[in-house]
Structure 1
């Protein structure tokens, strides 16, 4: 994608680590078993921030400030001389020293290649390799601390068919020159690979590295504006045993609104590295991508707050590299994130299928526990290893409420998910003649929230439905639409209105509401019945 800021925004690279046979062990950071690891074999999941050093060389305090967010890595913008710089070997040494002083893994990238073939004056990958060879003296011996990102977004939307050959040749030249570092390579199409050139040719590029230690990088901006697109791209590497990481992304952009929540949650759930763009200094209309204003760590932007302190952010998920003493002696106490509220399908008189969005965890989710909720009592129904379960042995004509917990490798358990209520049909019908209801909080603010319930019909047409629940935390409903509520204290019984009661088989209807809360706003358990 085309950069649109004066300083040339790097669109978020997604780093994909590829494994090869043990042809030659890397000196430091390397690939093992399909994962990026340190020299001692400890897995290294990058959690970092991009820093535009070549344009702000005096902002050396940024390294310490980035470390203070909890980051374990920093991606540093350098110049190879065609458009910026060149950043000399002495300055590269200083940058590496700043990374090491602040216990950050240093991802160094040459930015001049951005948009080659479409961007006037952009460098070729061959010129980027010339630059790395010219500063090799500053890099040799730093393999435990440095990952070498050959060139940022090396093709725009023209001429990108040459990416495979040019990238493979660049890797071969670096290895022939004696570089033992793990290498990262960015995708074409301004880093976003909407043509799937990198995705489909990654094995060819991987084979060019005699050490097998190449990391592929994807930028996630407007091309990745839905959860399905994010998950499909990343899973295409994981399913082939090709490790991947998101190296750069934002929460907004001129070419579309990236789904940063999915990028971060999916990366955390699958132990994929990510580095967000960027610490500070953006211009040209994308200043909203600054994480702090004017390089001041005390002045975080909304994006900075989301990325650093939000769900699946670096403050909660980053782990310092063991080369700096991290990851030793402290038992893991971080619970997995809360699973999504289950959805129900294939309801019969004796069974139902449940599925929910996966949890994430710093040491990995090992499985889930499905429970039946009856007031304050919970009964374990199933313990699947994946985020779905087929429940059997249910009783006909019975209301059930189900919820889910996640478990991690250290034995920690998440908070309970939202609940789904189902009523099994009478026996002998042989079909899903009931309905299901799911509850979600659309938005929440101090003292108030907006909620939504989705009612999904069974396999036969219905003329009406009723959803009931009881709040456990003193919430109240102040306004409702598309549903008729009959409240009784903390309990609510919501019937359809005239226009949404007649549902075709497997069709859905929704009603929404606003309410108040204080202290805790947990999702209630729902029961759905058809009239």
Structure 2
């Protein structure tokens, strides 16, 4: 994987960074308003223009998810400050692109330790919620191992942060049944004991529910929500190939009042950028316009 965003391995959209979700109170429902993703860290050292003016002119966008690579803390603080000055609030997600889909508990604990070290520094730029780590766990991770690992990591984060923690479903955000089982503790299995957590699913054409041996579908929204923690569609978009009806799933989640966040406003290394120019082309552009991909995301918000 190179340092420009791709979105295709193992039926998963492979993102590169930790995430910050920023939200305004004007739109959407659920944990944050409906909105879009941003990935600034790989362009011009994170010194990019966001295009806030164009974003504010489109009221269905109420949140942005900004991915934060470890080592980009200073830049992330400025992103949060910009979001605050533009009327947005925030969620932040640690996202280490080299280990997406890993089952390594060491890496998940590294994420938790990152929060322990950096939460107060980021909090100085404004209040936000925490999404512990982007896309930890592959399609083969068991519910017991998922719950055991997250129990330890959540305990570390709780030393500095007391509000809702977003946790991505394993399998690059696609194994909703495994996440639900871990939250419920099925059949005497290990249970995620912290009740102030919310699972996140990522929805693309290639989204595959290996636990059920089929493409992701609308029933997986209800399955994940049955754990009683709600949910967020942390990412959705049309990139890649496969049999998952990402439009139907996203629309269904939104109809249930769950927040949906499209991939991506800017920062995708390919064509999935709602605006032009992309940061890959011109990270410091002072004017942006809608790309041909715009309606793919905006119509779902």
8 Å CA contact 2:217, 2:244 repeated in 1: no
Which SS does the other structure have where 2:173 is aligned? Answer: coil
- Corresponding position of 1:279: 265
Displacement after TM superposition at 1:282 (Å): 2.4
Which SS does the other structure have where 2:174 is aligned? Answer: coil
Alignment deviations for residues 200-251 of structure 1 (CA, whole Å, 9 cap, x no partner): 1123587532xx32121111121269xx943211111334433112110112
- Corresponding position of 1:54: 41
User: Does the C-alpha gap of structure 1 residues 239 and 251 become closer, same or farther in structure 2, counting only changes over 3 Å?
Assistant: same
Query: Is 1:191 aligned to residue 173 of structure 2?
Result: yes
- Corresponding position of 2:21: none
- Corresponding position of 2:274: 291
Query: RCO greater where, 1 or 2, for CA within 8 Å and sep 6 or more?
Result: 2
Matches within 5 A, 1:69-468: 69-70=58-59, 71-80=61-70, 86-88=71-73, 90-112=74-96, 113-117=99-103, 124-140=107-123, 145-157=127-139, 162-175=145-158, 177-193=159-175, 196-204=177-185, 207-209=192-194, 212-221=195-204, 222-223=206-207, 229-254=216-241, 256=242, 258-283=244-269, 287-295=270-278, 297-302=288-293, 304-308=294-298, 310=299, 313-314=300-301
Displacement after TM superposition at 1:159 (Å): 5.1
Greater gyration radius: 1
8 Å CA contact 1:247, 1:274 repeated in 2: yes
- Corresponding position of 1:446: none
User: Does the C-alpha gap of structure 1 residues 128 and 97 become closer, same or farther in structure 2, counting only changes over 3 Å?
Assistant: same
Which SS does the other structure have where 2:67 is aligned? Answer: strand
8 Å CA contact 2:68, 2:93 repeated in 1: yes
Aligned residues: 262
Distance 1:110 1:123 in 2: 14
Which SS does the other structure have where 1:55 is aligned? Answer: coil
Displacement after TM superposition at 1:123 (Å): 6.8
Displacement after TM superposition at 1:158 (Å): 5.2
Distance 1:201 1:66 in 2: 37
Which SS does the other structure have where 2:297 is aligned? Answer: helix
8 Å CA contact 1:148, 1:183 repeated in 2: yes
- Corresponding position of 1:23: none
Which SS does the other structure have where 1:49 is aligned? Answer: strand
- Post-superposition, which runs of at least 4 consecutive aligned residues in structure 1 deviate over 4 A? 42-45, 158-161, 204-207
Alignment deviations for residues 92-127 of structure 1 (CA, whole Å, 9 cap, x no partner): 321211121122232211111412149xxx971100
Distance 2:89 2:244 in 1: 26
Displacement after TM superposition at 1:174 (Å): 0.9
- Corresponding position of 2:282: none
Distance 1:271 1:75 in 2: 18
Distance 1:4 1:197 in 2: 29
Displacement after TM superposition at 1:44 (Å): 4.8
Alignment deviations for residues 1-46 of structure 1 (CA, whole Å, 9 cap, x no partner): xx79843548399xxxxxxxxxxxxxxxxxxxxxxxx9xxx96553
Alignment deviations for residues 116-154 of structure 1 (CA, whole Å, 9 cap, x no partner): 149xxx9711001111112122244677x4121111111
TM-score of the superposition, structure 1-length normalised?
0.44
List runs of 5+ in structure 2 lacking aligned partners. Answer: 16-24, 210-214, 279-286
Over the aligned positions, Cα root-mean-square deviation in angstroms equals 3.3
- Corresponding position of 2:19: none
8 Å CA contact 1:206, 1:214 repeated in 2: no
Which SS does the other structure have where 1:279 is aligned? Answer: strand
Distance 1:259 1:67 in 2: 29
User: Does the C-alpha gap of structure 1 residues 152 and 63 become closer, same or farther in structure 2, counting only changes over 3 Å?
Assistant: farther
User: Does the C-alpha gap of structure 1 residues 178 and 189 become closer, same or farther in structure 2, counting only changes over 3 Å?
Assistant: same
Distance 2:180 2:226 in 1: 12
User: Does the C-alpha gap of structure 1 residues 12 and 116 become closer, same or farther in structure 2, counting only changes over 3 Å?
Assistant: closer
Name the structure with the higher strand share.
Answer: 1
